[in-house]
A and B are shown apart, each in its own frame.
Chain A
Amino acid sequence: MRGRLIAALLPALLPPLLAACDVAGSFRGMAVEPPREIPGFSFVLPGGTRYATAAEAGRPMLLFFGYTHCPDVCPTTLADFARVRQALGEQASRVRFVFVTVDPERDTPEVAQRYAMGFDSTFVGLSGDSATTAGLQQAFGVASVREPGSEATGYLVGHASQVFLLDDRGRLVAIHPFGSGWDALAADVRRLL
């Protein structure tokens, strides 16, 4: 019984293990070993078209959760994204830079898109309904929580501050905690190009 179970699982386990060996130890961020499959989610863009976070062949993805009322960590991270994009030169067009708001109530699809594009016109800013937002966060193993602010700020949102790097098969391969540095991020993206 146990033998049969292992035999059945082996084909499923081997590829991710081998893939992990391929790149293990060489990411400057925290390598995810084995890489974790992240299901794709669909977001409505301004104008009604849709954007899927699902994998695109040949295009790795950097993804960050934040919100536009965030004065510090979020703009710092998206500014780092812009530096990464600049450092990648011609290869940059192959990378998907994605910002997902954890505050869809205040950040409409228009607000989220405009915010992301303020850092670079190629960046994608996404705002989904609460189920989509929660589902995507859950897939990455993170969460966000609404916290009281002042009359001036309105509520604040505690949120994951890492940057997630996914390969072109939709697998999470590395995590960069806030403050890891844009150059480390650029180096890890280059590994996937």
Chain B
Amino acid sequence: MTWCVPSRPHPASRRPARGAGPAAAPVAAVALVALLGACGTDAGKNDTPAEEPPLRLAAAWARQADSGKISAAYLTLENRADAPVAIRQFGSEAVQAVELHENMTEDGMTHMHARAILEVPAGGRVTMAPGGLHLMLIGTQRTLAPGDTVRLTLEMEDGRSQQVAVPVQRP
């Protein structure tokens, strides 16, 4: 089954492409941090510099859907810190509810199970993909069309939160 296979390298992998200048990685990292920071509702409100987000969004997409329907989002999250990061809740302005689910297939029958916590290990990554771990987007508040963006809020167990922007794609 494809979802058991280690994921292919992601377009936004840590290493810059061969031939890219030595400045590419730091520039990309700064740009990403700035982008992620800009998503936060509190950005710019404090005088102190914003804390670096706990997780890095290495890849993400959400499936297109009509208004009032079901969709799904798939994130690849990296944790470059020394301690694991546990996400206890996901939310979004674009849908009524977000739930973390995992599909299990046994003897050709697929069952979906809700998962309460998503832990991203220290120095590791979690990859969501069709057929496995995914975010179920329940009750879309508007049509999600290719090119749109869904903003997701990740609430950590330690009280921190982070916002990420997920592009909508045609599957």
B114 and A147 contact, CB distance less than 8 A: no
Q: Which secondary structure dominates chain B's binding surface?
A: strand
Q: Is A153 an interface residue (CB 8 A)?
A: yes
A161 and B109 contact, CB distance less than 8 A: yes
**Known contacts A72-B72, A73-B103, A150-B114: A142-B130 contact under CB 8 Å:** no
A72 and B99 contact, CB distance less than 8 A: no
What residue in chain B is nearest A141 (Cβ atoms)? Answer: B108
Q: Is B111 an interface residue (CB 8 A)?
A: yes
A83 to chain B, nearest CB (A): 9
Q: Is A122 an interface residue (CB 8 A)?
A: no
- Compute how far the CA of A161 lies from the CA of B137 in the bound complex, rounded to whole angstroms: 20
Chain A residues whose C-beta falls within 8 Å of the C-beta of B80 in the assembled complex? none
Chain B residues whose C-beta falls within 8 Å of the C-beta of A75 in the assembled complex? 63, 72, 171
Chain B residues whose C-beta falls within 8 Å of the C-beta of A68 in the assembled complex? 69-70
B70 and A79 contact, CB distance less than 8 A: no
Q: Which residues of chain A from 140 to 171 have a CB within 8 Å of any chain B CB?
A: 142-145, 147, 149-150, 152-153, 156, 158-162
Chain B residues whose C-beta falls within 8 Å of the C-beta of A161 in the assembled complex? 105, 108-110, 131
Q: How many residues of B contact A (CB 8 A)?
A: 30
Q: Which of A8-16, A33-41, A125-133, A177-185 contacts B (4 or more CB under 8 A)?
A: A177-185
What residue in chain A is nearest B70 (Cβ atoms)? Answer: A71
Q: Is A118 an interface residue (CB 8 A)?
A: yes
- Compute how far the CA of A76 lies from the CA of B128 in the bound complex, rounded to whole angstroms: 14
- Compute how far the CA of A167 lies from the CA of B71 in the bound complex, rounded to whole angstroms: 33
B109 and A71 contact, CB distance less than 8 A: no
A147 contacts which of B99, B111, B131 (Cβ < 8 Å)?
B111
> Quick one: which of B108, B131, B139 has the most chain A CB within 10 A?
B108
- Compute how far the CA of A73 lies from the CA of B101 in the bound complex, rounded to whole angstroms: 12
- Compute how far the CA of A70 lies from the CA of B137 in the bound complex, rounded to whole angstroms: 10
B10 to chain A, nearest CB (A): 19
A152 and B139 contact, CB distance less than 8 A: yes
- Compute how far the CA of A160 lies from the CA of B139 in the bound complex, rounded to whole angstroms: 24
B131 contacts which of A72, A150, A156, A175 (Cβ < 8 Å)?
A72
Interface residues of A (CB under 8 A from B): 68-73, 75-76, 79, 118, 142-145, 147, 149-150, 152-153, 156, 158-162, 175, 177-181
Q: List 16 A-B contacts (CB under 8 A).
A: A71-B134, A72-B131, A72-B136, A73-B130, A79-B170, A79-B171, A149-B114, A152-B99, A153-B99, A158-B111, A160-B110, A161-B108, A161-B109, A177-B105, A178-B131, A180-B2
